[in-house]
Structure 1
Amino acid sequence: MSEEKKPAPAAAGRGAAKKELSEHFKTYKDVWVFIEMERGKVHTVSWELLGEGRKLADKLGVQLAAVILGPPGNDLKQAISDAWSYGADLAYVVSEPLLKDYRNEPYSKALTDLVNTHKPEILLLGASTLGRDLAGSVATTLKTGLTADCTELAIDDDRCLAATRPTFGGTLLCTIFTLNFRPQMATIRPRVMAMPERRDAKPGRVIEFKLSMVEDDIVTKILDFVPDTSTEEAHLAYADIVVAGGLGMGNPGNFRLITDLAAVLGAEYGGSRPTIQKGWISADRQIGQTGKTIRPKLYIAAGISGAIQHRVGVEGADMILAINTDANAPIFEFAHYGLVGDATRILPALTKAFEARLAVRRMAS
């Protein structure tokens, strides 16, 4: 008669711990999206994330919730209304005068308390300046995992969030899982995910939450507000047409060919990471995973090889025209149209052709 084998104490302990962890995770449900609002305006990345969150929630068979923090008023009410139009099933709302301007302390306190009380399975935030600051603070307080600057989100067979992002300087893509902690948190940069279609929808359930904090508890004070529109920084993320150059332009002087074409097309201009590192153009015009993510109707890339970190920043464009002397450059693998040749000769010809075409249109109108 064979003797029954008993599991080793260590193995048995791991099995019990895994079962206990699985039971604990059952208390967490739903997908949450933080709705970023400043000065009464919602950042469009929030609606992009609601569109992505809808897919994740449907895959898990749970509800999609919008998390809205801000001062009482019509702007807050409008944000709640818009959340229904972009796919939310319910909204968690913290309406407090203390939340008029973004400060890490009250926002972190409000979101952390919300999570501890209502236990979401997944929490998504935009990788904006505000979102990055808030996400890091909340994840640290909750002692959970946070995957930053994701380019793709999915649900695996074990109901875990699979968050993909570039790594090693943008040369590789890796998928990260938060296996032993909840909620699973991720930030996604503006324009990485497509904007969902706005639809007429019935209002969902609103769950109001009280912020347990007073002004005297907050060290940070708002002294002044300087809007982005008062600066001269580029706004590449929302441009319909973008013209960009890489090291294949040869030298910084040749970047005039990029700006000339951009001016004719009424476009924004930018460059790859090496051109910023060499000081050819300013850092706010960098395109790619470590710069700006863009989704224009037309993207013209001149002298850019198309490394992974650049690809993930531009592949959402409706149309990509690549110009490169190397017929085997990686950018031709994902560009819609390609021209093999010297960008310093092709760009002036394009500029001249567009000038002539646009002049004819103006005369016809």
Structure 2
Amino acid sequence: MSALAFVEIEEGLVKKSSLEAVSYASSVEGEVTAIVFGALNDGEADKIGAAGAAKVLHVSDDELAQPNIMAYASAIAEAMEKEGSSLLVLAKSSLGDPVSARVAIKVNASLATNVVDLPDTSDGFKVKCSIYTGKAFAINTLSGDKKILGLKKNAVAVKEDGGSASLENFAPAKNEADFKVKVTNREKATGEILLPEADLVVSGGRGLKGPENWGMIEELAKTIGAATGCSKPVSDMDWRPHHEHVGQTGVKVSPSLYIAVGISGAIQHLAGVNSSKYILVINKDPEAPFFKAADYGVVGDAFEVVPKLTEAIKAQQG
């Protein structure tokens, strides 16, 4: 069977999580077509090809430039029919989740989300999925001719040895009913790097003692190209904006590296970060619960450790 990969973009740039979806699809099926909505910057199609796609269906219609869940689902379902695709792969995201559910209904497909590994096809089609905020795994068997997989961020590496992808304009049919709901305004969280897409995150907690001390967190984040986050008490006290709150009731992140500075490690915070590939904890309390979940830990005063860490990284960068 051939595979279709839904590629999300932000300001003309392909999201890393979508490149992971393309690479995953190419590992399952040799023939992969990607579908992209909106303006695509120069060179971005090459990234999609390098990740494993042979062709990119480019939807350049201005009316579809901004995310529209219903219209995107209809277009993707049409693209699956056009390409004869029995497998759709996309990143698990705030856009990917509702789109995948609607496509599944439209094409009568089996759906699994939060997928973390390649499928086992030795006896049917089984996929391993992360559940309970990363505390356990479920093996799901997908039946039916068509299947949709929502890939967990950082579950696979992005390939860079694929070929060049041909770019084909795709003008899907538009259903008036898909545009009954209009987006009149979009407000985005500010910051150079946003938490949901960040590959590196530096977070601070009450151990920083006040908002006036956040400069060292921002400096470390800037040095390594990371997003900044915080614990719930910090956002509750208005030390930092709410959109930086990482945790069960805030933003759930899955970076390659999560650095927690002065955060004790309440279970609600851990629920939002335990999908991180690696966790580094900096805390002067050796009994802080966060150390039990950490891959690396530094017992020390954050006001001494963080500036020295930042300077060491800068020296290493040359």
TM tier relative to shorter chain: 0.7 to 0.9
Sequence identity percentage: 17
Structure with the bigger percentage of helix: 1
Secondary structure in structure 1 of the residue aligned to 2:95: helix
Q: 1:43 deviation in Å?
A: 2.6
| Amino acid across the alignment from 2:102 | S
Secondary structure in structure 2 of the residue aligned to 1:153: coil
Gaps of 5+ in 2: none
Match of 2:7 in 1: 35
**Cα separation, 1, equivalents of 2:148 and 2:48:** 20
* 1:1-365 pair list within 5 angstroms: 29-37=1-9, 40-55=12-27, 57=28, 62-70=29-37, 75=40, 79-94=44-59, 96=61, 98-148=63-113, 150=114, 152-156=116-120, 157-167=122-132, 170=133, 172-188=135-151, 191-193=153-155, 196-199=158-161, 201-203=163-165, 210-213=171-174, 218-221=179-182, 223=184, 226=186, 228=188, 231=190, 235-237=194-196, 242-245=201-204, 249=206, 254=209, 256=211, 259-267=214-222, 268-272=227-231, 282-287=241-246, 291-295=251-255, 299-305=259-265, 309-316=271-278, 320-323=280-283, 325=285, 327=287, 329=289, 331-332=291-292, 334-336=294-296, 338-340=297-299, 346-351=301-306, 353=308, 357=311
Q: Cα distance 1:217–1:270, how it changes in 2: closer, same or farther (>3 A)?
A: closer
**Cα separation, 1, equivalents of 2:262 and 2:134:** 20
**Cα separation, 2, equivalents of 1:54 and 1:174:** 23
Root-mean-square deviation (Å): 4.2
Gaps of 5+ in 1: 1-28
Please tell me whether Structure 1 or Structure 2 has the larger radius of gyration of its CA atoms: 1
Count of aligned residue pairs for this structure pair: 307
**Cα separation, 2, equivalents of 1:351 and 1:41:** 32
Are the aligned partners of 1:112 and 1:142 in contact in 2 as well (CA < 8 Å)? yes
Q: 1:262 deviation in Å?
A: 0.4
Secondary structure in structure 2 of the residue aligned to 1:339: strand
Q: Cα distance 1:335–1:111, how it changes in 2: closer, same or farther (>3 A)?
A: same
Q: Cα distance 1:186–1:350, how it changes in 2: closer, same or farther (>3 A)?
A: same
Are the aligned partners of 2:211 and 2:239 in contact in 1 as well (CA < 8 Å)? no
Q: 1:301 deviation in Å?
A: 4.2
Q: 1:49 deviation in Å?
A: 1.9
**Cα separation, 2, equivalents of 1:219 and 1:91:** 28
Q: Cα distance 1:257–1:163, how it changes in 2: closer, same or farther (>3 A)?
A: farther
